[in-house]
Amino acid sequence: MRRLFLVLPLCLALPAAAEERLAGPVAGEVMRVVDGDTLAIRARIWIGQEIEVLVRLRGVDAPERRARCPGERVAAERATAALAALVAGGRVVLTEIEGDKYFGRVLANVRASDGTDVSTALVGAGYARVYDGGRRAGWCG
């Protein structure tokens, strides 16, 4: 009798612990700006190993593109453009990386190629608000 063994990569075989965190730094290349607080990144995690992942900026909430009110949709486009300008160099550094509440996305601190903390810059310019993970406040008046 033959036995079939299924070998899964370790990351698929064991669920990540909720408190698991990768300190970094991890260098990444911006593939695209998803919205005002999310980037699609290609990160080099090991020699010859890259991963493409959505990265949610830690500590901020930006307006949503699919909002109910037109004002929030306009603000969302401005926040997205501001984030794109901050990461225009294409290279970023991720630190304090951890799983996000949505599958397939991580939460991280992100620094632009010039060293700018992206979350701090967005909040300081008024494109995003400080967010601690609780209930999110609306952007419509």
Give the helix/strand (H/E) hosting 73: helix 70-86
Answer yes or no: is 12 within a domain.
no
- CATH code of the domain covering residue 51: 2.40.50.90
Question: For residues 112 and 106, what is the distance between their CA atoms, to the nearest angstrom?
Answer: 17
pLDDT of residue 19: 64
The total number of structural domains in the chain stands at 1
- Please name the residues in contact with 84: beta carbons below 8 A apart, sequence gap of 6 or more: 33
Helix (H, G, I), strand (E, B) or coil at 98: strand
Answer yes or no: is 90 within a domain.
yes
Question: For residues 103 and 106, what is the distance between their CA atoms, to the nearest angstrom?
Answer: 8
Answer yes or no: is 3 within a domain.
no
Instruction: Name the residue range of residue 77's domain.
Output: 21-130
Of the two residues 63 and 7, the one the predictor is more confident about is: 63
Question: Could you tell me the pLDDT band of residue 18, with boundaries at 50, 70 and 90?
Answer: low
Question: Could you tell me the pLDDT band of residue 103, with boundaries at 50, 70 and 90?
Answer: low
Q: Model pTM?
A: 0.81
Question: For residues 46 and 83, what is the distance between their CA atoms, to the nearest angstrom?
Answer: 27
Average pLDDT, the chain: 85
